[in-house]
Structure 1
Amino acid sequence: MDEELGELGVLKQVEGIMLGNGVVGILAESVNKWERRAPLTPSHCARLLHGGTGVSRIIVQPSTKRIHHDALYEEVGAEISQDLSQCGLILGIKQPKLEMILPDRAYAFFSHTHKAQKENMPLLDKILAERASLFDYELIVGDNGKRLLAFGKFAGRVGMVDFLRGLGQRFLSLGYSTPFLSLGSSYMYPSLAAAKAAVISVGEEIATQGLPLGICPLVFVFTGTGNVCSGAQEIFKLLPHTFVDPSRLSDLHRMDTNQTRHASKRAFQVYGCVVTAQDMVEPKDPTKVFDKADYYAHPEHYNPTFHEKIAPYASVIVNCMYWEKRFPQLLTYKQTQDLMIQGCPLVGIADITYDPITNSYHDDMDGNGVICLAVDILPTEFAKEASQHFGNILSQFVVNLASATDITKLPAHLRRACIAHRGVLTSLYDYIPRMRSSDSEEASENSENSLSNKRKYNISVSLSGHLFDQFLINEALDIIEAAGGTFHLVNCHVGQSAKAVSFSELEVGADDRSVLDQIIDSLTAIAKPTENDRFSNQDSSKISLKLGKVEENGIEMESDSKKKAAVLILGAGRVCQPAAEMLSSFGRPSSSEWYKTLFEDDFECQTDLEVTVGSLYLKDAEQIVEGIPNVNGIQLDVMDQESMCKYISQVDVVISLLPPSCHIIVANACIKLKKHLVTASYVDSSMSMLDDKAKDAGITILGEMGLDPGIDHMMAMKMINQAHLRNGKVKSFISYCGGLPSPEAANNPLAYKFSWSPAGAIRSGRNPATYKWGGETVHIDGNDLYDSATRLRLPELPAFALECLPNRNSLLYGDLYGIASEASTFFRGTLRYEGTLYKCFYYFSG
């Protein structure tokens, strides 16, 4: 990373007023009257000032509109002053006015400059002129390329509440009274919880009184699968609802022809439908199928279909996708006019009213048209929760930034987020000047000159993906120049949101064919990670590459790049089939809700995934894969080393769903063949001993991370860290877990719900246990574990009769938690309903 920083060098204090002097400033937001958020709340300031973090002072510019009053900051020890000249680090949310930039200071806010956005270049120029440093929140990302600091789902939540309110007003102007009319805008509620309670109340009224038949079926179409869409759906799902597949929308409306028969069913709920790019366009070539990588690289090869397949059946369009001019429009003015003339049920696209028939806008809800929601900074409507969420993460980074005197020693995610240092762009962002001088209009004007100065060998290269937020554009340009080639930026479109991909079309040339081949191979390597980093660094390599035709004395050759991966599943138990079904959907479009929730749509349709299920008995494997596309079943005995290694060598990752005792055999083979391994079991001592070997082989071995260990560890560390931040010490740690079904579902002799082998659940009762209680270490032999169970009663739940037994070696976690030396009691236990442990012992011993 030191080389990437280039001229960054070591950050020095100048006259005691530079990054590292421990004095933090908080700007008064000036972007518009609605911005009430704060980068740090008073509680965050209290922890920073009194938690031994290195922050000595916090100076807050006064603001009468900030969600937290100035007095609250003063109460925790912060200072209120317009003058931030003593601050080495100054924080904001949105970009400040130019006159607020002080010389030789470090700033952190959403600058919107790293993609060379024209409207914010004056701000960047001011930063450079004042020899200031700039850290951009949007660029603080983890090793997997995911943003670490953002406002999450708040935009979607706020937008949906606001739109439902507008929907009620619009329906009233059309002559329909609906429960939506009782909703207010998000900013009218004191909290997110209060807003949700209001939406739930609306849902209860719909469920009991129904919606007017004249507006049914009420269909909400959501575009996208990111955080905004997830937040919008979170609010939508508070209403009585049913989600339908895009292909079923027409069926839903055909069913409506007999309103009398179906009215009672449909009038008491609303419908949701999630659509992605594949539902909005189709290839112009009828012989081809939709390919997302190709669509991003060459959208001109696709025709829009949203206005034909989706929009005619939508009452509401909740657009959560980024759009730029090179892509087909979701709906054109003409298409919207045609839909309204045809009687389309469209009521809203999401503060003003648009009449597509007359192509005019209104600022009220009367007349014809559809309502359109267009709010710039939605998260600020829930300013309190949004600030708390944001500050929880930012305060961790402030600890580093406020005390750093050497920027090269900052964590990598903060070093990468530094756009400029002391008036100089850092090397990661030296593409910005190139971007500023190479917009699409200039490229078009200069294209003839470029063509006339072609090298002997030339090729068109289209790059799409996270080119700028993952710095892949730098890597691509450096590859071309380092090899001795030249490039001309023919076209470039930069995505304007965290999830949006960017696109660059280059004309690459060289006077030697071997040089051009070297460039092509190196660029292809960006799109196709090596075996060792394909899975560990997949998110940071989200790039699609399209190579045009190489011009070589009139001879053309076409190249392309597409990822291909293979997975081997070992075992044929209950969890094997859903695992195979999930993996099979990776290489094809999916409308499943779980798929869209777990995986970003950038991965969809980019990978051909081959899945093989191996079982000791061929019949079991074939039964598992029956009806699942792209999945094959084979007979495989893991005790047959030659056969097992043969199949493992042909795949990229192995998923072992075998009994835990078999994992070590598979793991050793994966290390030998350098293949990644995933298991559905906890990591035991034998697997832990393979850590160094796996690292040397460059592979990942991933065990279960659900509960114990998993969620309980995260919750424990959160509480322990909070205590330590307040200079506290943990004297006693007691943790309980257990698979307790609700009483009415505890309908088997063991009063337990099994998601795994019942024999395995009972056999776990033979595990020995060790814990510390009152400073004394206690050991329980495995044969005596059930006998050691004690009664447990919860005052808050007096009707629950529970038993607790110690859970394996608790002392291991004292070291992991960092409290072994301070906690005199450390106990981790498992809960069961009273009397069931005796039954477990009876069944096991019997």
Structure 2
Amino acid sequence: MPMLGNGVVGILSESVNKWERRAPLTPSHCARLLHSGRDKSGVARIVVQPSTKRIHHDVLYEDVGCQISEDLSECGLVLGIKQPKLEMILPDRAYAFFSHTHKAQRENMPLLDKILAERVSLYDYELIVGDNGRRLLAFGKFAGRAGMIDFLHGLGQRYLSLGYSTPFLSLGASYMYSSLAAAKAAVISVGEEISTLGLPSGICPLVFIFTGSGNVSLGAQEIFKLLPHTFVEPSRLPELFGKAKDQHGGASKRIFQVYGCVVTSEDMVEHKDPTKGFDKADYYTHPEHYNPVFHKKIAPYASVIVNCMYWEQRFPRLLSTQQIQDLVRKGCPLVGISDITCDIGGSLEFVNRTTSIDSSFFRYDPLSDSYHDDLEGNGLVCQAVDTLPTEFAKEASQHFGDILLEFIGSLSSTVDFTELPSHLRRACIAHGGALTTFYEYIPRMRKSDSEDVSDNLAKGHSNKKKHNLLVSLSGHLFDQFLINEALDIIEAAGGSFHLVKCQVGQSTEALSFSELEVGADDSAVLDQIIDSLTSLANASENNRDQISGINRISLRIGKVQETATQKGPGTKGTSSVLIIGAGRVCRPAAELLASFGSPSHQMQKTCMETDFEWQNDIRVLVASLYLKDAEEVIEGIPNAEAVQLDVSDHKSLCKCISQVEIVISLLPASCHVMVANACIELKKHLVTASYIDDSMSKLDEKAKGAGITILGEMGLDPGIDHMMAMKMINHAHVRKGKIKSFTSYCGGLPSPAAANNPLAYKFSWSPAGAIRAGRNPAIYLFNGKTVQVDGDSLYDSAEKFRIADLPAFALECLPNRNSLVYGDIYGIGKEASTIFRGTLRYEGMA
């Protein structure tokens, strides 16, 4: 009988690690599937392999109608968390688990070979993503929670060995608690003891540094916040350390809180060019342009480093072995490292081994460069456990199954993966003994990786081509399948490639990096390949990730050339915006910009349910002459910061502008020129809320030379109405017609029900500005005669205006500034006898 799509689901007993107690579906999930009936759930039966260590006992599965059996031969779909043993894989089935194969990871290629040999359909949880490209099935927060609790548990023991009794000593490891709630209650109890009895001054200020702002970091911070705490900005660490040392003098003094500090890449590196600030897009594309500064600016003030951020070899390390040795010699207060990323030999070079749940720590002594298994003696205690989420197996399984449940029906009842929804098709690595289209790059990567490049070079036949270049690709190469496009370009042109280096991101948020030696026998062919790869990197609309704004793929040639996307600020997707001016328009602008990097209310709910890692990458700076005004504007807006700025101070203005990618000037029109000149000088884009006047128009060539955009007001007026006007005028001209009369009306009218004040008008911008606009002089052409209206007489010149189909609307029209200039702009100056642009208001506004 055919297995695929038969509606019978199997659940594996986990065999890879003794601590793996999670399950892809809990008994309650199974009950929901079985009791719904196959017509609704797509599941007819569930067979569960027996396990004596799974968090949910076999009898609980049996009670809800599951069959307990080692034999999964009748199952068309088999679910697990980790990969099964190779001999357990049955032919012609569908399997779903974390396979770690889609990036051609060498250690897991035997698994992929077995999958292909047995004609298995392989679905990888890591590849099931939402419309925004974020993973739906992940355990990041649970890793952060468990890692933080475990470290606090070890911290108590470490301090005791140093001669300090602390409340942390009473805290157990995460797995010792029956639930996450129980573990949190224990942390809260520790916090209450700190609040009541305090911490010894000799270990204070106790400062926890959290790297990164993803789910892992958020999970760790969630536990930290259960303690009495204060978060400080990285720039305030020296000040905090100095004040605390002054205040904490005296061996008997007790301190009643701990401190936290969240740092990101911007705090860890600085540009080698002192005239340039940190630019996230540039950093991801050109990390070699930056020097590490974490060891200078952050680490000297850290008691504990909680490392939650993925790292690749092309980036500077967080701390090298030499740097930590120098810091310890200088007497830094660092006590320990919690490397929740478990990136061995990575961003923390001296963390050279993993630890286990039941033996979570080792001790590294920087002064003797030695490693020890105990917590006694000199040095730092280090934690690097790679199976942390399973410590909260019950909650992690519930969280995971809640999301997986919606996919089970499709996976269990579908024979042909091409009939699946798109997000599941993209998660299918292999089907029917072959790799699916998305993953056809894997054998090419494997073939390239089969020989060591140094051996190739030693043989003197690098790529066996006459012309070769080193091409570095970075970005979303694997999770968005862009590596396929890159390799297709090389092979289609008749070139060859050899994989020199490959660093693969361990999450969809982390970028991947591949260095290829690309070769061709003809230099023109090689040039064609490079041009095509450059076009791929420069794809205007698709080159940026929708959430982060970072290049989905970027390119470097021979470590010398730079692509256009890497050179200047003329790229899409900014990470920081400066708004100058704190008037009425400012807050809606700041809220809107912040919302681009933050989830909606519904998405917040989805994030909580699915454990999304939502990265808020848009930082909004609001600058005002009076700091209080800026602070009032940003109150309650996430990722926004208030700064004091006098735009007439060119040095201060340039300092603010250098920190951002885009400047929005909401100042009076007369101030835009000085802001524009600074933006041109620093090559930063500028948006204003004003018409483009003569003084701004004169900057056109300078702005083009700097490669920046200066955008004036482009809303209804003078945006949409101009485009509609030109569409009609061009249409008439194409048909050999002439424009005899042009009249255009606009106006921000409230609905009649809302026109409930004496002015019958609502202000969306400065009321003073709107009133002043009523004193602007006007000039227009009417029946061949030029009509001028003084500003003092503008309201007196208003004329009644009626719409035939809407006779109840009592409107009046005011001439709008200088209409004559549009004769030249629209190309109708020599043919139209009337050129009039007016503003509509409810009758009686004047």
| TM-score normalised by L of structure 1 | 0.66
Amino acid at match of 2:664: T
Shift of 1:255: 2.2
Contact 1:146 1:539 in 2 (8 A): no
1:35 matched residue in structure 2: 20
CA deviation map 1:801-824 (0-9, x unaligned): xxxxxxxxxxxxxxxxxxxxxxxx
Count of residues paired in the alignment: 635
Amino acid at match of 1:128: L
1:185 matched residue in structure 2: 173
Shift of 1:233: 1.1
2:529 matched residue in structure 1: 519
SS class of match (2:337): coil
1:58–1:337 distance in 2 versus 1, CA, 3 Å: same
1:94–1:169 distance in 2 versus 1, CA, 3 Å: same
Shift of 1:221: 0.9
| CA–CA distance in structure 2, aligned partners of residues 292 and 344 of structure 1 | 29
Contact 1:17 1:105 in 2 (8 A): yes
SS class of match (2:217): helix
Contact 1:586 1:607 in 2 (8 A): no
1:522–1:213 distance in 2 versus 1, CA, 3 Å: same
SS class of match (1:271): strand
Within 5 A, what are the aligned runs for 1:188-203?
A: 188-203=176-191
1:467 matched residue in structure 2: 477
Alignment pair present for 1:255 and 2:262: no
Residue number among 147, 162, 172 corresponding to 2:135 in the alignment: 147
CA deviation map 1:456-509 (0-9, x unaligned): 5x5432111221122111111112222343333332222334433221122334
SS class of match (1:58): strand
SS class of match (2:115): helix
Contact 2:463 2:498 in 1 (8 A): no
| CA–CA distance in structure 2, aligned partners of residues 668 and 143 of structure 1 | 34
Shift of 1:308: 2.7
Structure 1 residue runs without a partner (length 5+) = 1-14, 551-556, 598-604, 675-755, 760-846
Within 5 A, what are the aligned runs for 1:653-668?
A: none
| CA–CA distance in structure 1, aligned partners of residues 3 and 211 of structure 2 | 48
1:424–1:223 distance in 2 versus 1, CA, 3 Å: same
Residue number among 587, 611, 616 corresponding to 1:575 in the alignment: 587
Alignment pair present for 1:132 and 2:139: no
SS class of match (2:41): coil
Residue number among 433, 449, 452 corresponding to 1:442 in the alignment: 452
1:540–1:279 distance in 2 versus 1, CA, 3 Å: closer
Shift of 1:622: 11
| CA–CA distance in structure 2, aligned partners of residues 673 and 509 of structure 1 | 51
Alignment pair present for 1:336 and 2:324: yes
1:355–1:490 distance in 2 versus 1, CA, 3 Å: closer
Shift of 1:345: 0.9
Amino acid at match of 1:547: I
Amino acid at match of 1:354: R
Amino acid at match of 1:27: L
SS class of match (1:39): coil
Shift of 1:211: 1.2
Shift of 1:344: 1.6
Residue number among 210, 216, 229 corresponding to 1:228 in the alignment: 216
| CA–CA distance in structure 2, aligned partners of residues 670 and 541 of structure 1 | 32
Shift of 1:253: 1.9
Contact 1:565 1:608 in 2 (8 A): no
SS class of match (1:238): coil
1:558–1:72 distance in 2 versus 1, CA, 3 Å: closer
342-351 or 271-280, larger mean C-alpha shift = 271-280
Shift of 1:164: 0.9
187-196 or 89-98, larger mean C-alpha shift = 187-196
Alignment pair present for 1:410 and 2:417: no
Alignment pair present for 1:312 and 2:312: no
617-626 or 386-395, larger mean C-alpha shift = 617-626
SS class of match (1:463): strand
1:420–1:372 distance in 2 versus 1, CA, 3 Å: same
Contact 2:620 2:639 in 1 (8 A): no
| CA–CA distance in structure 1, aligned partners of residues 549 and 480 of structure 2 | 9
SS class of match (1:17): coil
Contact 1:346 1:370 in 2 (8 A): yes
Contact 2:133 2:508 in 1 (8 A): no
Contact 1:470 1:540 in 2 (8 A): no
Within 5 A, what are the aligned runs for 1:15-414?
A: 15-18=1-4, 20-51=5-36, 52-260=40-248, 267-283=255-271, 290-293=278-281, 295-296=283-284, 299=287, 302-350=290-338, 351-356=360-365, 357-414=367-424
| CA–CA distance in structure 2, aligned partners of residues 535 and 437 of structure 1 | 30
Contact 1:282 1:289 in 2 (8 A): yes
SS class of match (1:428): helix
Shift of 1:192: 1.6
1:75–1:230 distance in 2 versus 1, CA, 3 Å: same
Shift of 1:619: 7.7
1:668–1:347 distance in 2 versus 1, CA, 3 Å: farther
Shift of 1:306: 2.6
Amino acid at match of 1:203: G
128-137 or 254-263, larger mean C-alpha shift = 254-263
| CA–CA distance in structure 2, aligned partners of residues 64 and 162 of structure 1 | 25
| CA–CA distance in structure 2, aligned partners of residues 360 and 586 of structure 1 | 40
1:787 matched residue in structure 2: none
Amino acid at match of 1:99: E
Amino acid at match of 1:219: V
| CA–CA distance in structure 2, aligned partners of residues 196 and 344 of structure 1 | 30
Shift of 1:81: 0.7
Amino acid at match of 1:522: S
Shift of 1:93: 0.2
Shift of 1:64: 1.3
| CA–CA distance in structure 2, aligned partners of residues 34 and 529 of structure 1 | 46
| TM-score normalised by L of structure 2 | 0.66
Shift of 1:337: 3.1
Shift of 1:131: 2.0
Shift of 1:666: 7.1
Amino acid at match of 1:415: R
1:612 matched residue in structure 2: 664
Shift of 1:538: 7.5
Contact 2:537 2:553 in 1 (8 A): yes
Amino acid at match of 1:352: F
Alignment identity in percent? 64
| CA–CA distance in structure 1, aligned partners of residues 710 and 547 of structure 2 | 14
Structure 2 residue runs without a partner (length 5+) = 339-359, 598-615, 623-633, 642-656, 701-706, 728-763, 768-846
